[in-house]
Amino acid sequence: KEFTLIMIKPDGVRSGDSGKILARIEQEGFKIRAMKRVRLSLEQAQQFYSVHAARPFYGELCSFMASGPVVAAILERDNAVQHWRDVIGATDPAEAAPNTIRKLYAKSKGENAVHGSDSVENAKIEAAFFFSGLELA
Ligand code: ATP
């Protein structure tokens, strides 16, 4: 089966929506293979989002991601990467489809409740950022 790396971002943790988001994860047929709650330093947030370093919102994104704890998890399911992206919806909650996680819980394009890897290859890189091989047993 495929896996993806997801985060509940600081806004989602702060507003008390983690439990509802985790329930949705299980309703969608994902298995939680690993999970932790951590607070990223600014440097760690910059490293995680280094592909976006040239984008105008990079500074804002990294300081937001370091503003409070996140919940990171590895989810397993058939077609995990694409299915999670379908479940979370568009980056901007104003454009997200009804009943998607971002439509339900996101505040704005920046503070948008959740993250999901955009490819199987990036899922591997992002999973290794948060978890050691031992934690995947
Ligand atoms: P993610 O990678 O977090 O799953 P995504 O693939 O939907 O999100 P990207 O375009 O890769 O979106 O942008 C990464 C993240 O950067 C977004 O989730 C959002 O938090 C932030 N972001 C994107 N565009 C903007 C913007 N215009 N202003 C502020 N923040 C933004």
Which residues, in sequence order, are CB contacts of 28 under 8 Å at separation 6+?
A: 77, 83, 84, 87
Residue boundaries of the structural domains of the chain: 2-136
pLDDT of residue 135: 78
Percent of the chain with pLDDT over 90: 96
Catalytic residue among 65, 93, 115, 116: 115
51-99-45 Cα angle (round to 5): 25
Q: How confident is the model at residue 136 (pLDDT cuts 50, 70, 90)?
A: confident
Q: Tell me the pLDDT tens digit for each residue of 85-124.
A: 999 999 999 999 999 999 999 999 999 999 999 999 999 9
pLDDT at 31 over 70: yes
Strand partners, 2: 77
Please indicate whether residue 115 is annotated as part of the active site. Answer: yes
Which residues, in sequence order, are CB contacts of 22 under 8 Å at separation 6+?
A: 8, 32, 71
Strand partners, 7: 72, 115
Average pLDDT over residues 133-137: 73
CATH of region 2-136 = 3.30.70.141
Average pLDDT of the residues of the chain: 97
> Ligand 1 pocket: which of 40, 48, 58, 61 to mutate (most atoms <8 Å of CB)?
61
Which residues, in sequence order, are CB contacts of 128 under 8 Å at separation 6+?
A: none
pLDDT of residue 40: 98
**Residue 104 belongs to what H/E stretch?**
helix 101-105
